[in-house]
Structure 1
Amino acid sequence: MSAIIDTDMTDRRPLGRGDAKTLILSALGGALEFYDFVIFAYFAKTLGHLFFPPGTSDWVAQLQAFSIFAVGYLARPLGGMVMAHFGDRVGRKRMFTLSVFLMAVPTLCIGFLPTYATIGVLAPVLLTLLRVVQGIAIGGEVPGAWVFVAEHVPRHRVGLACASLSSGLTFGILIGSLVAAAMSARMSEAAMLDHGWRIAFLLGGVFGFFAVYLRRWLSETPVFARMRERKELTTELPAWVVLRDHLPGVALSMVVTWVLTAAIVVVILMTPTLMQTAFHVEPARAFTGGSLAAFSLCVGCVLGGLLVDWQGKARAMLVASVGLAASTYALYLDLRSGGTHLLALYSLAGLFAGVAGIVPSVLVAAFPPAIRFSGISLSYNVAYAICGAATPVLVGYLAKTAGGLGPAHYVGLVALVGVASSLYMMRKGQGVASG
């Protein structure tokens, strides 16, 4: 498994103004695109009642909506592999811009979509198709974004670069949470069902097109430009090279991606809704907690990246995995006993969900530059398709078991996988250097 971060292994320069501009524009564009992808989760309960037959119970409606939410994850490998192929062949920047455009269009369309009461069964069908297009877009966005920023910065700052991008992506979750919280506080349930939910998606469409505009100011990565100049680009199918020569890197990348899905999908995206349906927390308080957790996640991602550059990705992964399990159990135990410390404990769980800022460094280091986009895209998107699609449905069911602790049990199990991956990297001598 290659640990190459850049073709120039002697690059130890400090971060410059150009690097900062790239990181800021990439993170901001990613935040706006990720808002489009995750806003669906915050309105799952509302969408469940609007796009399925009337009279459906809250729990069944939520499960149906989470199922459509999960479809977006199943579509990720298709978009990821196509964009990664051209990203490794023609350039990172073009695919980086295309992905955000493909996200903006379906998000805007969802905002105008007729409901079940208007067009019947066609409503959930169209909603599912638009969710598939969103999945295709995000499948190219996330791996491409990590590769893009990692190849722009000095080797010893890859951890911070990837983490800042992840923080930007998760800032999109915070925006979604704040929008949901504000709308829940200011609008009645009837108004939300009538038109409120549309505002959130129409706003996302506007965000997406603004992100397209921002990416006009970005330049191709120095690593790709150097490979193109030296004629080092692979002439073989990049995905085939990944599977033929880099299976250990694929396996490790898929395992740590599973940890990331548990942190993001369960702790951040699903918990605000589960608070309401499983623990009967008021919507406004649940969304406030979700907003605090999302903000803590942004901070946790950056701290995770700094820890990677300081102590190495294996040790950083170990700390975050243990903290994720402990904080999630503390949160759900508190919810079961009445939620007295909900806001503080949810913020803590969000901080340790910052493992999402550590995982990209593991993925970037697993593949050499010529097939890096394809390697990350294949590993990350296939793992996310499997885990991300199964998790909402499985955890939605588990929320009714073990006295409400089912989701915490799931996160705890996956966190153990994170610990195992940390020990594996240490054994392979990857526990100190970030590269």
Structure 2
Amino acid sequence: MPSTEQHNLGETKALRRAITGSLVGTSLEWYDFFLYGTAAALVFGEVFFPSYDRLTGTLLSFITFAVGFAARPVGAAIAGHFGDRIGRKKVLLATIMLMGTSTIAIGVLPSYATAGILAPILLVIIRLIQGLALGGEWAGGALMIAERAPAARRGFLTSFVQVGASIGNLLSTGILLLMSAQLSREEFVAWGWRVPFLLSAIVVIVGIYIRLKVTETPTFNALQQEGKVSRSPVLELFRRQPLDILRVIGIRAGADIMFYLLITFLLTYVSQTLGLPGSIGLTAAMLGASMQLITYPLSAALSDKFGRRPITVIGAIGATIWMLFFFFPLVDTKSVALIIAAVLVGLVFHSAMYGVQAVWICELFDAKHRYSGASLGYQLAGIVGGSLAPTIAIALLQIFGTTRAITVYAAAALAIVAITAAFTRETRGIKMNEAGADHETASVHT
């Protein structure tokens, strides 16, 4: 029999592989997803909706962006069912392949000038496929870490799934910034925007290689060994923990809205309303994503010490104040330094919320339907949160002619985060790496 030292060494090695696999896989998946949002803000209006004025074309592009969010809960339900039935690892292999191939397809998609109305129709179909893939990605990556991490460091370690989102954002924004800087506007619109999408071929190869080396989580193995795998995890989830799904939506949606206003809507606002180079918004997004490589783990580490609830509440209150009184006044100065500062400070508050979400959401649900609960809660929040945020912001700007309505919209959503978090049970320190680790144990820290 293996010694205790060998057993501990094996567990440490498995945890490191899980972190690496989740970090790299999630980074590559979010690269694909963020790439679409950035391209929608910069170029898709001209490529796929050229018969409209530029702002309306961008609005239509953001609607196709929202389509991906609409598909994510469906992908979450499918992935959650199979993730709770056959294992986390197998589902994650499927999501990485689906996301990579669909993104490559966007790179070879004909423009409206070439294919007419068929081009935007194909764009919407591919966007739906992207949404299905991402719907099952996030929760699986988080669970691969959370279900084997030691309780005292679970928040910090699980936050690397959130770091993956920042890396994906950084890569997608960086490569589009590079392409737009090296090419003329005509060249970028004609073919330059396609290059980052075609690079997703790397996603499929690297993602599959890494995830094949990651083992299944101890929690799911225990469920199988004890014969406790649920036959209908999604139905069981809605029967046993429906309120926790609503809590996840309340905690997540406002943070999502803030993020997409700071990153996606800002690109359009800076270039089309303020008349500044689009590179300013891209630069702010890149610097923000770089900063969040640090602020996500820092926020999660603080939650390991002080709890998930207080860190989230502090972040939400700070974000509400920032969006109400400081963000747009700084951006409207047209000062590059102040625009970047407005984004960076906003993202610090966002990090306090989002950095904690991975571990808190996973800890809220029972082991038997944890993949389903984490996936559905997270992705349903995306529909009422980030999916419509850029579209609503543009519409409010067109209707009122001022950003004040946008700040009220953001502040109201963030206030809901603070209130929901304040009334959601604390889960720091609960057991997760065994089949019997049900949500009732969360009452330890209420």
Unaligned runs of 5+ in 1: 1-11
Q: TM-score scaled to structure 2, two decimals?
A: 0.89
Match of 1:371 in 2: 369
- Change in 2 beyond 3 A, CA 1:406/1:41: farther
Which string of whole-angstrom CA distances, capped at 9 and with x for unpartnered residues, describes residues 49-96 of structure 1? 111143x21210110100001000000111111111011011000001
Q: Out of 243, 265, 270, which is 1:275 matched to? A: 270
- Partner Cα distance (1:126, 1:398) in 2: 29
Does structure 2 retain, via aligned residues, the 8 Å contact 1:70–1:392? no
- Change in 2 beyond 3 A, CA 1:414/1:205: farther
Moved over 6 A (4+): none
- Partner Cα distance (2:259, 2:32) in 1: 15
Q: Out of 388, 393, 404, which is 1:390 matched to? A: 388
Q: TM-score scaled to structure 1, two decimals?
A: 0.91
- Partner Cα distance (2:179, 2:50) in 1: 24
Give the aligned length. Answer: 419
Matching of residue 113 in structure 1 with residue 109 in structure 2: yes
Matching of residue 346 in structure 1 with residue 343 in structure 2: yes
How does 1:3-402 map onto structure 2 within 5 Å?
16-44=12-40, 45-54=42-51, 56-235=52-231, 237-329=232-324, 330-339=326-335, 340-354=337-351, 355-400=353-398, 401=400
Per the TM alignment, residue 294 of structure 1 is displaced from its structure 2 partner at its CA by: 1.6
Question: What do you get for the CA RMSD once the two structures are aligned?
Answer: 2.1
Identical-residue share of aligned pairs (%): 25
- Change in 2 beyond 3 A, CA 1:383/1:310: same
Does structure 1 retain, via aligned residues, the 8 Å contact 2:259–2:386? no
Match of 1:4 in 2: none
Which string of whole-angstrom CA distances, capped at 9 and with x for unpartnered residues, describes residues 197-221 of structure 1? 1111111333343222221111101
Match of 2:4 in 1: none
Match of 1:413 in 2: 412
SS of 1:114's equivalent in the other structure is coil
The residue identity in structure 1 corresponding to 2:414 is A
The residue identity in structure 1 corresponding to 2:48 is F
SS of 1:232's equivalent in the other structure is coil
Per the TM alignment, residue 169 of structure 1 is displaced from its structure 2 partner at its CA by: 2.0
Per the TM alignment, residue 196 of structure 1 is displaced from its structure 2 partner at its CA by: 0.5
Does structure 1 retain, via aligned residues, the 8 Å contact 2:14–2:215? no
Per the TM alignment, residue 433 of structure 1 is displaced from its structure 2 partner at its CA by: 5.3
- Partner Cα distance (1:326, 1:402) in 2: 22
The residue identity in structure 1 corresponding to 2:397 is A
The residue identity in structure 1 corresponding to 2:363 is A
- Change in 2 beyond 3 A, CA 1:321/1:402: farther
Does structure 2 retain, via aligned residues, the 8 Å contact 1:31–1:169? yes
- Partner Cα distance (2:330, 2:97) in 1: 41
Deviation larger for 378-387 or 24-33: 378-387
Per the TM alignment, residue 432 of structure 1 is displaced from its structure 2 partner at its CA by: 6.6
- Change in 2 beyond 3 A, CA 1:399/1:23: farther
The residue identity in structure 2 corresponding to 1:421 is T
- Partner Cα distance (2:286, 2:133) in 1: 25
Unaligned runs of 5+ in 2: 1-7, 431-441
The residue identity in structure 1 corresponding to 2:396 is L
- Partner Cα distance (1:110, 1:167) in 2: 25
- Partner Cα distance (1:399, 1:418) in 2: 24
Per the TM alignment, residue 431 of structure 1 is displaced from its structure 2 partner at its CA by: 7.8
- Partner Cα distance (1:305, 1:352) in 2: 13
- Partner Cα distance (2:37, 2:194) in 1: 14
The residue identity in structure 2 corresponding to 1:142 is W
SS of 1:341's equivalent in the other structure is helix
- Change in 2 beyond 3 A, CA 1:433/1:222: closer
- Partner Cα distance (1:47, 1:34) in 2: 19
